């Protein structure tokens, strides 16, 4: 065992990981990255089919981003944005406001996505208190949706398996239907969606009492559960409902922003303007941690009064080095037309994955842009699902290790039904899609035989 492996086993607490399994099995240790690929301690190359964790938009090994960080550290390594400003935070806030739709012009920085979601909830509550509607504190989000792990964000998260032991969570976080058209009992047998999933939001608002509901938190395209794309008209209906009852619409863009769907923000892709957008991950392509909220002028207005304060802050929110990296990242995305690359190639990416439908355990292939998911089923015709024990064996016992062995890092997850999630760097093209297609064909075919015998 190498020294590094020994130290990792003894001292590193990997997130969402079975530490016990790593007492037996080797911990994969990544040493470097280049473009769409990463290399481990043995020098083996893997296609990073998940951009780390939906993060590394411009790819690995981009010196420009390290250089931007070094320049900023030398200039001003840290200063808080608590009552002060510094150039990187100011310039980035202005740049994000410029990219954001409508009147979303004010940026509140955090260090990551959970804090952004948490902050958006607090802002919604503080906003309603400021305008004389102090009863509005509840929030609505969707089944199986993932919005982070801190107590507030975890309350908004709709994944029972990661919430149970932490209960009681923050009260007032209500769940509604998601847009799982493949399994929707209302419309999966019809040609189109009935939008009952959107109307569910209205029913919940009425049931709770509109004067108690502060905000609706939705991702443009829901990640957890496997790439639930919004049906046509969904977002327009949701916007109408929120407006009708004076509820804020929060678009959780932690995954979908910065080109993942071929646009700067998911709202642009699906034609809506929210009141607040949360972002993190891709804003820096992961070269430094950063997250935040982009907020509508209307929500900011009460806080512009003389003595009003949004009573909330985070030491490292708007860290100058992270903001400088974000600016350099946005420069790269613009100069290399990264969004254009996604727009031009997303069709071929989809086509490569759709070809896998002949493999018996492939139930559905869906998603958008450079975010795709494959739902695995026991029976294609009946959509019969695997039991949770089977799903565990399929994902953790067979598919994950086999795909990794074949040189593909991606996500095999069963927060809902078992799905494989693919979200390569936004600079990926035909070569990467071909490799993803061939690894998946081998691994899924082998898994079919193993599961059917």
Q: Which positions touch ligand PLP (CB under 6 A)?
A: 112-114, 117, 146-148, 219, 223, 252, 254-255, 280
Nearer to ligand PLP, 225 or 363 (CB): 225
Query: CA angle at residue 204 from 199 to 205, to 5 degrees?
Result: 95
CA distances from 22 to 28, 170, 173, 284, 414 (A): 10, 33, 35, 30, 20
Query: CA angle at residue 344 from 340 to 348, to 5 degrees?
Result: 145
Write down the least CB distance from residue 285 to ligand PLP, Å: 14
Nearer to ligand PLP, 16 or 84 (CB): 16
Write down the least CB distance from residue 379 to ligand PLP, Å: 30
CA distances from 192 to 136, 222, 231 (A): 34, 19, 8
Nearer to ligand PLP, 155 or 223 (CB): 223
Please compute, for residue 51, the number of CA atoms within 13 A of its CA located in the half-sphere on the CB side: 28
Give the closest residue to 427 by CA, choosing from 45, 144, 33. Answer: 33
Provide the strand spans (E) within 95-229: 104-110, 138-142, 173-176, 213-218
Write down the least CB distance from residue 179 to ligand PLP, Å: 14
Backbone angles phi, psi at 36, to 5 degrees: -90, 5
Nearer to ligand PLP, 117 or 398 (CB): 117
Write down the least CB distance from residue 426 to ligand PLP, Å: 16
Write down the least CB distance from residue 255 to ligand PLP, Å: 5
Write down the least CB distance from residue 206 to ligand PLP, Å: 26
Nearer to ligand PLP, 112 or 225 (CB): 112
Number of other residues whose CB lies within 10 A of the CB of residue 127: 25
Provide the strand spans (E) within 112-265: 138-142, 173-176, 213-218, 248-252
C-beta of residue 176 within 8 angstroms of C-beta of residue 90: no
- Quickly list DSSP for 257-319: TTTTTSSSSHHHHHT---SEEEE-GGGGTTSS--EEEEEEHHHHGGGGSTT-------TTTT-
Q: What is d(CA 261, CA 105) in angstroms, rounded to the nearest whole number?
A: 22
User: Helix 63-75 to helix 320-335 angle, to the nearest 10 degrees?
Assistant: 150
- Cβ neighbors of 27 (< 8 A, separation 6 or more) are 5, 8, 9, 12, 14
- For residue 332, the Cα-to-chain-centroid distance in whole angstroms is 21
Backbone angles phi, psi at 422, to 5 degrees: -130, 130
Nearer to ligand PLP, 59 or 286 (CB): 286
Nearer to ligand PLP, 150 or 343 (CB): 150
Q: Enter the tokens of residue 130.
A: 């400021």
Provide the strand spans (E) within 23-178: 30-34, 37-40, 45-48, 104-110, 138-142, 173-176
Write down the least CB distance from residue 261 to ligand PLP, Å: 13
Nearer to ligand PLP, 241 or 280 (CB): 280
Write down the least CB distance from residue 222 to ligand PLP, Å: 8
**Furthest-apart CA pair in the chain: how many Å?**
71
Write down the least CB distance from residue 233 to ligand PLP, Å: 22
Nearer to ligand PLP, 72 or 251 (CB): 251
Write down the least CB distance from residue 41 to ligand PLP, Å: 25
Q: What is d(CA 197, CA 229) in angstroms, rounded to the nearest whole number?
A: 12
Residue nearest to ligand PLP (CB): 113
| β pairing state of 411-413 and 104-110 | unpaired
Nearer to ligand PLP, 162 or 187 (CB): 162
Write down the least CB distance from residue 414 to ligand PLP, Å: 16
Nearer to ligand PLP, 137 or 411 (CB): 411
């Amino acid at each position: 065992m190498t020294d590094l492996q020994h130290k990792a086993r003894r001292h590193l607490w990997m997130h969402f990981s079975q530490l016990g399994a790593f007492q037996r099995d080797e911990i994969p240790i990544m040493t470097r990255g280049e473009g769409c690929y990463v290399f481990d301690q043995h020098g083996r190359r893997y296609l990073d089919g998940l951009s780390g964790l939906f993060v590394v938009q411009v790819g690995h090994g981009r010196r420009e981003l390290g250089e931007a960080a070094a320049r900023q550290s030398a200039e001003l390594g840290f200063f808080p944005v608590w009552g002060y400003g510094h150039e990187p935070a100011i310039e980035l806030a202005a740049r994000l406001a410029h990219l954001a739709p409508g009147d979303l012009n004010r940026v509140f920085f955090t260090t990551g996505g959970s804090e952004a979601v948490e902050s958006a909830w607090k802002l919604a509550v503080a906003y309603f208190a400021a305008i004389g509607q102090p009863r509005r504190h509840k929030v609505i989000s969707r089944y199986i949706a993932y919005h982070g792990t801190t107590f507030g964000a975890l309350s908004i998260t709709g994944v029972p398996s990661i919430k149970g032991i932490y209960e009681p969570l923050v009260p007032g976080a209500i769940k509604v239907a998601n847009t799982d058209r493949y399994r929707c009992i209302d419309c999966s047998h019809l040609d189109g969606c009935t939008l009952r999933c959107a109307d569910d939001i209205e029913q919940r608002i009425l049931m709770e009492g509109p004067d108690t509901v502060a905000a609706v938190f939705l991702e443009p395209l829901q990640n957890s559960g496997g790439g639930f794309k919004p049906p046509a008209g969904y977002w327009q209906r949701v916007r109408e409902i929120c407006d009708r009852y004076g509820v804020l619409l929060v678009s959780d863009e932690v995954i979908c922003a910065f080109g993942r769907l071929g646009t700067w923000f998911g709202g642009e892709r699906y034609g809506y303007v929210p009141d607040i957008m949360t972002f993190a991950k891709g804003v820096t392509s992961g070269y430094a941690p950063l997250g935040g909220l982009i907020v509508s002028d209307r929500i900011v207005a009460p806080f512009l009064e003389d003595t009003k304060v949004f009573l909330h802050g985070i030491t490292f929110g708007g860290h100058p080095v992270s903001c400088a990296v974000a600016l350099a990242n946005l420069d790269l995305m613009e100069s290399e037309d990264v969004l254009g690359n996604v727009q031009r190639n997303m069709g071929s990416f989809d086509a490569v994955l759709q070809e896998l439908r002949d493999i018996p355990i492939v139930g559905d292939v869906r998603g958008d842009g450079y975010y795709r998911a494959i739902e695995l089923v026991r029976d294609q015709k009946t959509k019969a699902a695997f039991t949770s024990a089977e799903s565990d064996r399929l994902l953790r016992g067979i598919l994950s290790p086999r795909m990794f062995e074949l040189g593909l890092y991606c996500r095999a997850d069963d927060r809902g039904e078992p799905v494989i999630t693919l979200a390569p760097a936004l600079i990926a093209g035909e070569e990467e899609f071909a490799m993803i297609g061939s690894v998946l064909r081998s691994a899924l075919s082998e898994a079919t035989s193993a599961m059917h015998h």
